[in-house]
Chains A and B, each alone.
Chain A
Amino acid sequence: MNKVERLSRMRRNILLGVLAGTGIAFVLLLYPLIVPSGRYLWWPAGSGLSFPFYYWAFFVWLLTLVVFVILYLLYKDKLRKDPALRAAVDDERVRINWLKAYRFAFYTLVVITVLMKLAESAAARAVLRGSFPLPGETWFLLSGAVLSLVSSFLYYNRETQDE
């Protein structure tokens, strides 16, 4: 395996790590909505209840970001030292794949925002017997954006077998 392949694989592994960490955080945010007994654990203010899911999600995501940002900086440093290598690793197809991934993430954000507004509606409140947890809005949007961006890039940029 040459340097280009090795660095491409390194990027893929970093993004897979970000995807896994963000995915776990996303599930922790969703859990109180899916499991009725855990619903109110979501909303800490004034409830008097503990709030492990919200904090665990925050912790997992923070840890993911710290670890993988450091790895990403190391990866970028390797590319910075060798412009020819950078041109090969970030070739024209990879750059277009990033643009396609950003477009997909944008549409996903629009859909998430609409769904969240619907969840705030009176009908949804009746079904959920409570309001949609507003403190999670930013979390949902951010983790949804990261999940859709990273997963769509990995999908568009998936590897093929040598022929």
Chain B
Amino acid sequence: MSDEVLRNNIKVFRAKNDLTQEQLADLVRVTRTTINFVERGKWVPSAVLAMRIARVFKAPFEDVFYLE
């Protein structure tokens, strides 16, 4: 079984785009708490949600999310 976990750079991208968690949550249609959980790696988002987040940042998926 793989020990890899999904990490992300959401916090960095949020800072670059000057977005709060609440604003990002609004853009991808989830609650702010969900964004907070995803950002801290406490929740692995569905592929759909992960793609939506990457699309908001206009960045390639693998720049926002990566396996570690």
**Chain A residues proximal to chain B, CB less than 8 Å:** 2, 4-5, 8, 84, 87-89, 91-94, 157, 159-163
In the assembled complex, how far is the CB of residue B52 from the closest CB belonging to chain A, in whole angstroms?
Answer: 11
Task: Tell whether, in the assembled complex, residue A84 and residue B29 are in contact, meaning their CB atoms are under 8 Å apart.
Answer: yes
**Chain B residues proximal to chain A, CB less than 8 Å:** 11, 20-22, 25-26, 29-34, 36-37, 39-40, 43, 45-46, 49
Cα–Cα, bound, A93→B30 (Å) = 9
Task: Tell whether, in the assembled complex, residue A8 and residue B31 are in contact, meaning their CB atoms are under 8 Å apart.
Answer: yes
Task: Tell whether, in the assembled complex, residue A87 and residue B29 are in contact, meaning their CB atoms are under 8 Å apart.
Answer: yes
Cα–Cα, bound, A163→B24 (Å) = 13
Chain B residue numbers with a CB within 8 Å of A159 are 33
In the assembled complex, how far is the CB of residue A88 from the closest CB belonging to chain B, in whole angstroms?
Answer: 4
Chain B residue numbers with a CB within 8 Å of A93 are 30-31, 33-34, 37, 43
Cα–Cα, bound, A113→B32 (Å) = 38
